[in-house]
Amino acid sequence: MLIKLDNPSLLSKAIEIIAELVTEVRIKVNELGFSITAIDPANVAMVGFRLPKNAFSQFEADNEVLGVNLEDLKRILRRCAGGGSLIMEKKENLLKIQIQDRIRRSFSLNLLDIEGEEMDFISKIARMDFVSHIEMGSADWIDSIEDCSVVSDACSFAIESGKFIIEAKGLNSAKTEFSADEAKINGENCRAKYSLEYLQKFIKGGKLSDKTIIKFSNDHPLRLEFNGEHMELNFILAPRVETDD
Protein backbone atom coordinates (compact mmCIF):
# COMPACT_ATOMS: atom_id res chain seq x y z
CA MET A 1 0.00 0.00 0.00
CA LEU A 2 1.21 3.47 -0.94
CA ILE A 3 -0.98 6.58 -1.05
CA LYS A 4 -0.13 10.25 -1.54
CA LEU A 5 -2.11 13.38 -0.63
CA ASP A 6 -0.94 16.69 -2.03
CA ASN A 7 -3.03 18.72 0.42
CA PRO A 8 -3.25 16.79 3.71
CA SER A 9 -4.80 19.58 5.80
CA LEU A 10 -8.33 18.22 5.31
CA LEU A 11 -7.29 14.79 6.54
CA SER A 12 -5.44 16.29 9.49
CA LYS A 13 -8.47 18.34 10.59
CA ALA A 14 -10.84 15.39 10.20
CA ILE A 15 -8.60 13.12 12.27
CA GLU A 16 -8.53 15.75 15.05
CA ILE A 17 -12.35 15.74 15.14
CA ILE A 18 -12.64 11.94 15.11
CA ALA A 19 -10.00 11.64 17.85
CA GLU A 20 -12.36 13.45 20.22
CA LEU A 21 -14.77 10.50 19.93
CA VAL A 22 -12.53 7.43 19.74
CA THR A 23 -8.94 6.52 20.59
CA GLU A 24 -8.26 3.62 18.24
CA VAL A 25 -9.75 2.91 14.80
CA ARG A 26 -9.44 0.66 11.80
CA ILE A 27 -8.65 2.64 8.67
CA LYS A 28 -9.76 0.92 5.47
CA VAL A 29 -7.84 1.60 2.28
CA ASN A 30 -9.38 -0.05 -0.78
CA GLU A 31 -10.75 0.67 -4.26
CA LEU A 32 -13.21 3.19 -2.77
CA GLY A 33 -10.53 5.24 -1.04
CA PHE A 34 -9.55 5.91 2.57
CA SER A 35 -12.30 5.45 5.18
CA ILE A 36 -13.00 5.23 8.90
CA THR A 37 -16.14 3.96 10.66
CA ALA A 38 -16.17 3.96 14.47
CA ILE A 39 -18.51 4.04 17.45
CA ASP A 40 -17.59 5.95 20.61
CA PRO A 41 -17.03 3.94 23.84
CA ALA A 42 -20.37 5.05 25.30
CA ASN A 43 -22.17 3.67 22.23
CA VAL A 44 -23.91 7.03 21.78
CA ALA A 45 -22.28 8.32 18.59
CA MET A 46 -20.91 6.92 15.36
CA VAL A 47 -18.63 8.58 12.81
CA GLY A 48 -18.12 7.80 9.15
CA PHE A 49 -15.30 9.46 7.23
CA ARG A 50 -14.11 8.93 3.67
CA LEU A 51 -11.60 10.43 1.30
CA PRO A 52 -12.39 9.01 -2.16
CA LYS A 53 -9.67 7.53 -4.31
CA ASN A 54 -9.64 10.58 -6.60
CA ALA A 55 -8.62 12.80 -3.67
CA PHE A 56 -5.14 11.22 -3.85
CA SER A 57 -2.46 12.02 -6.40
CA GLN A 58 -1.10 8.49 -6.00
CA PHE A 59 -3.10 5.49 -4.84
CA GLU A 60 -1.76 1.94 -4.77
CA ALA A 61 -3.80 -0.32 -2.50
CA ASP A 62 -5.74 -3.56 -2.68
CA ASN A 63 -7.72 -4.03 0.52
CA GLU A 64 -5.82 -2.87 3.58
CA VAL A 65 -7.02 -2.46 7.17
CA LEU A 66 -4.78 -0.31 9.36
CA GLY A 67 -5.29 -0.34 13.13
CA VAL A 68 -4.02 2.98 14.49
CA ASN A 69 -3.99 5.07 17.64
CA LEU A 70 -5.61 8.34 16.57
CA GLU A 71 -3.75 10.49 19.07
CA ASP A 72 -0.45 9.29 17.64
CA LEU A 73 -1.63 9.80 14.05
CA LYS A 74 -3.01 13.24 14.93
CA ARG A 75 0.33 14.38 16.31
CA ILE A 76 2.14 13.32 13.16
CA LEU A 77 -0.38 14.92 10.81
CA ARG A 78 -0.04 18.19 12.69
CA ARG A 79 3.54 18.32 11.43
CA CYS A 80 2.29 18.79 7.86
CA ALA A 81 2.72 22.32 6.58
CA GLY A 82 -0.05 23.87 4.51
CA GLY A 83 1.68 23.35 1.17
CA GLY A 84 3.31 19.98 1.82
CA SER A 85 2.48 16.49 0.56
CA LEU A 86 1.80 13.40 2.64
CA ILE A 87 2.80 9.85 1.70
CA MET A 88 1.60 6.80 3.65
CA GLU A 89 3.08 3.39 3.03
CA LYS A 90 2.45 0.14 4.89
CA LYS A 91 5.51 -1.95 5.60
CA GLU A 92 4.95 -5.06 7.69
CA ASN A 93 3.51 -3.87 11.04
CA LEU A 94 4.36 -0.23 10.50
CA LEU A 95 2.71 2.69 8.75
CA LYS A 96 5.49 4.74 7.20
CA ILE A 97 4.48 8.41 6.95
CA GLN A 98 6.52 10.83 4.90
CA ILE A 99 5.96 14.58 4.82
CA GLN A 100 7.37 16.39 1.80
CA ASP A 101 7.58 20.17 1.88
CA ARG A 102 10.77 22.22 1.98
CA ILE A 103 12.52 19.17 3.41
CA ARG A 104 11.56 15.50 3.61
CA ARG A 105 10.61 14.13 7.02
CA SER A 106 9.73 10.55 7.93
CA PHE A 107 7.76 8.95 10.75
CA SER A 108 6.87 5.37 11.64
CA LEU A 109 3.56 4.55 13.32
CA ASN A 110 3.11 1.17 14.94
CA LEU A 111 0.01 -0.62 13.64
CA LEU A 112 -2.38 -2.16 16.16
CA ASP A 113 -4.44 -5.33 16.19
CA ILE A 114 -7.82 -3.87 17.14
CA GLU A 115 -10.50 -6.31 18.23
CA GLY A 116 -14.17 -5.78 17.52
CA GLU A 117 -16.74 -5.75 14.76
CA GLU A 118 -15.81 -4.79 11.22
CA MET A 119 -18.07 -1.86 10.40
CA ASP A 120 -19.22 0.01 7.33
CA PHE A 121 -21.01 3.31 7.92
CA ILE A 122 -23.55 3.00 5.11
CA SER A 123 -24.46 -0.56 6.10
CA LYS A 124 -24.87 0.43 9.77
CA ILE A 125 -27.36 3.21 8.98
CA ALA A 126 -29.21 1.46 6.15
CA ARG A 127 -32.29 0.78 8.29
CA MET A 128 -32.50 4.22 9.85
CA ASP A 129 -35.49 6.22 8.66
CA PHE A 130 -35.21 10.01 8.70
CA VAL A 131 -38.45 11.88 8.01
CA SER A 132 -36.86 15.35 7.96
CA HIS A 133 -34.00 16.75 5.91
CA ILE A 134 -32.50 20.22 6.46
CA GLU A 135 -29.65 21.83 4.55
CA MET A 136 -28.18 25.04 5.91
CA GLY A 137 -25.02 27.10 6.09
CA SER A 138 -22.47 25.62 8.47
CA ALA A 139 -21.78 29.00 10.10
CA ASP A 140 -25.46 29.30 11.10
CA TRP A 141 -25.46 25.72 12.40
CA ILE A 142 -22.36 26.35 14.51
CA ASP A 143 -23.80 29.55 16.01
CA SER A 144 -27.07 27.83 16.93
CA ILE A 145 -25.36 24.98 18.78
CA GLU A 146 -23.00 27.36 20.59
CA ASP A 147 -25.98 29.48 21.65
CA CYS A 148 -27.67 26.42 23.15
CA SER A 149 -24.53 25.31 24.97
CA VAL A 150 -24.58 28.55 26.96
CA VAL A 151 -27.84 27.61 28.72
CA SER A 152 -28.12 23.80 28.83
CA ASP A 153 -26.48 20.42 28.26
CA ALA A 154 -29.02 19.29 25.65
CA CYS A 155 -31.05 20.86 22.85
CA SER A 156 -34.10 19.98 20.78
CA PHE A 157 -34.39 19.94 17.01
CA ALA A 158 -37.89 20.44 15.67
CA ILE A 159 -39.78 21.09 12.48
CA GLU A 160 -42.97 23.02 13.13
CA SER A 161 -45.15 24.69 10.50
CA GLY A 162 -42.40 24.65 7.92
CA LYS A 163 -39.74 26.09 10.25
CA PHE A 164 -36.65 24.39 11.62
CA ILE A 165 -36.10 25.18 15.31
CA ILE A 166 -33.07 24.55 17.52
CA GLU A 167 -33.90 25.16 21.16
CA ALA A 168 -32.41 24.58 24.62
CA LYS A 169 -34.17 25.04 27.94
CA GLY A 170 -32.87 24.99 31.49
CA LEU A 171 -33.09 27.73 34.07
CA ASN A 172 -32.40 29.86 31.01
CA SER A 173 -33.19 29.22 27.36
CA ALA A 174 -31.96 29.77 23.82
CA LYS A 175 -33.85 29.40 20.56
CA THR A 176 -33.06 29.81 16.85
CA GLU A 177 -35.66 29.56 14.10
CA PHE A 178 -34.94 29.01 10.43
CA SER A 179 -37.52 29.57 7.72
CA ALA A 180 -37.33 28.45 4.10
CA ASP A 181 -35.43 31.68 3.39
CA GLU A 182 -32.50 30.62 5.60
CA ALA A 183 -32.46 26.84 5.09
CA LYS A 184 -33.79 24.12 2.81
CA ILE A 185 -36.40 22.37 4.95
CA ASN A 186 -38.07 19.15 3.83
CA GLY A 187 -40.10 16.78 5.94
CA GLU A 188 -42.93 16.45 8.39
CA ASN A 189 -43.34 17.94 11.84
CA CYS A 190 -41.12 16.16 14.36
CA ARG A 191 -38.98 16.77 17.43
CA ALA A 192 -35.97 15.10 19.06
CA LYS A 193 -33.49 16.01 21.80
CA TYR A 194 -29.72 15.54 21.69
CA SER A 195 -26.66 15.92 23.90
CA LEU A 196 -24.78 19.19 23.47
CA GLU A 197 -21.59 17.55 24.72
CA TYR A 198 -21.49 15.57 21.48
CA LEU A 199 -22.93 18.29 19.26
CA GLN A 200 -20.17 20.67 20.31
CA LYS A 201 -17.66 18.12 19.02
CA PHE A 202 -19.57 17.62 15.78
CA ILE A 203 -19.86 21.34 14.92
CA LYS A 204 -16.13 21.33 14.21
CA GLY A 205 -17.03 19.39 11.08
CA GLY A 206 -18.83 22.52 9.92
CA LYS A 207 -15.45 24.18 9.50
CA LEU A 208 -14.61 21.63 6.80
CA SER A 209 -17.75 22.22 4.72
CA ASP A 210 -19.83 25.30 3.85
CA LYS A 211 -23.05 23.30 4.16
CA THR A 212 -24.44 21.15 6.97
CA ILE A 213 -27.11 18.53 6.28
CA ILE A 214 -29.28 17.49 9.22
CA LYS A 215 -31.58 14.45 9.23
CA PHE A 216 -33.79 13.33 12.12
CA SER A 217 -37.21 12.02 13.18
CA ASN A 218 -39.28 11.95 16.38
CA ASP A 219 -37.03 10.74 19.24
CA HIS A 220 -34.79 9.17 16.61
CA PRO A 221 -31.02 9.24 16.00
CA LEU A 222 -29.63 12.33 14.34
CA ARG A 223 -27.53 12.20 11.18
CA LEU A 224 -25.17 15.08 10.36
CA GLU A 225 -23.37 15.35 7.03
CA PHE A 226 -20.40 17.59 6.28
CA ASN A 227 -19.43 16.78 2.72
CA GLY A 228 -17.19 18.34 0.12
CA GLU A 229 -15.72 17.53 -3.26
CA HIS A 230 -13.05 15.29 -1.75
CA MET A 231 -14.47 14.39 1.66
CA GLU A 232 -17.43 12.80 3.44
CA LEU A 233 -17.71 13.30 7.21
CA ASN A 234 -20.91 11.98 8.79
CA PHE A 235 -22.08 11.53 12.37
CA ILE A 236 -24.92 9.59 13.98
CA LEU A 237 -26.04 10.61 17.47
CA ALA A 238 -28.53 8.75 19.67
CA PRO A 239 -31.43 10.84 20.99
CA ARG A 240 -31.77 11.84 24.59
CA VAL A 241 -35.15 10.43 25.57
CA GLU A 242 -36.75 11.87 28.71
CA THR A 243 -38.21 9.31 31.11
CA ASP A 244 -40.56 9.80 34.03
CA ASP A 245 -39.19 8.86 37.45
108-150 pLDDT, tens digit per residue, is 999 999 877 778 888 888 889 999 999 999 999 999 999 999 9
Is residue 120, in this structure, part of any structural domain at all?
no
Query: Do you know the residue count of the chain?
Result: 245
Same domain, 79 and 12: yes
Those residues with Cβ within 8 angstroms of residue 93's Cβ, 6 or more apart along the chain or in another chain: 110, 111
Same domain, 97 and 137: no
Same domain, 102 and 7: yes
Q: Whole-model pTM?
A: 0.93
Same domain, 96 and 194: no
| Residue after which a domain boundary falls, among 113, 148, 179 | 113
Q: Own/partner pairs for 57-62, CB < 8 Å, 24+ apart?
A: 57/4, 57/5, 57/6, 57/85, 58/2, 58/3, 58/4, 58/87, 59/3, 59/4, 59/33, 60/1, 60/2, 60/3, 61/1, 61/2, 61/3, 61/29, 61/30, 61/31, 62/1, 62/30
- Residue 168 structural domain: 129-237
CA dist 136 and 227 (Å) reads: 12
Instruction: Give the model confidence (pLDDT) of 180-237 as tens digits.
Output: 999 999 999 999 999 999 999 999 999 999 999 999 999 999 999 999 888 999 999 9
Task: State percent of the chain over pLDDT 70.
Answer: 97
pLDDT of res. 245: 40
Instruction: Give the model confidence (pLDDT) of 17-29 as tens digits.
Output: 999 999 999 999 9
Same domain, 101 and 135: no
Same domain, 172 and 108: no
Residue (of 120, 104, 138, 27) closest to 72 by Cα position: 27
Q: What is the CATH number of the domain that holds 215?
A: 3.10.150.10
Integer angstrom CA distances of residue 55 from 11, 59, 90, 104: 10, 9, 19, 22
Is residue 121, in this structure, part of any structural domain at all?
no
Same domain, 159 and 193: yes
Same domain, 103 and 32: yes
Number of domains composing the chain: 2
Same domain, 179 and 89: no
Is residue 85, in this structure, part of any structural domain at all?
yes
Same domain, 85 and 143: no
Is residue 243, in this structure, part of any structural domain at all?
no
Is residue 192, in this structure, part of any structural domain at all?
yes
| Residue after which a domain boundary falls, among 79, 113, 147 | 113
| Residue after which a domain boundary falls, among 113, 147, 180 | 113
Residue 19 sits at φ, ψ, to 5 deg, of -65, -15
CA dist 88 and 141 (Å) reads: 34
- 11, containing H or E segment: helix 9-18
Is residue 118, in this structure, part of any structural domain at all?
no
Same domain, 227 and 145: yes
Same domain, 154 and 218: yes
Is residue 80, in this structure, part of any structural domain at all?
yes
Q: What is the CATH number of the domain that holds 104?
A: 3.70.10.10
Is residue 123, in this structure, part of any structural domain at all?
no
pLDDT band at 173 (very low <50, low <70, confident <90, very high): very high
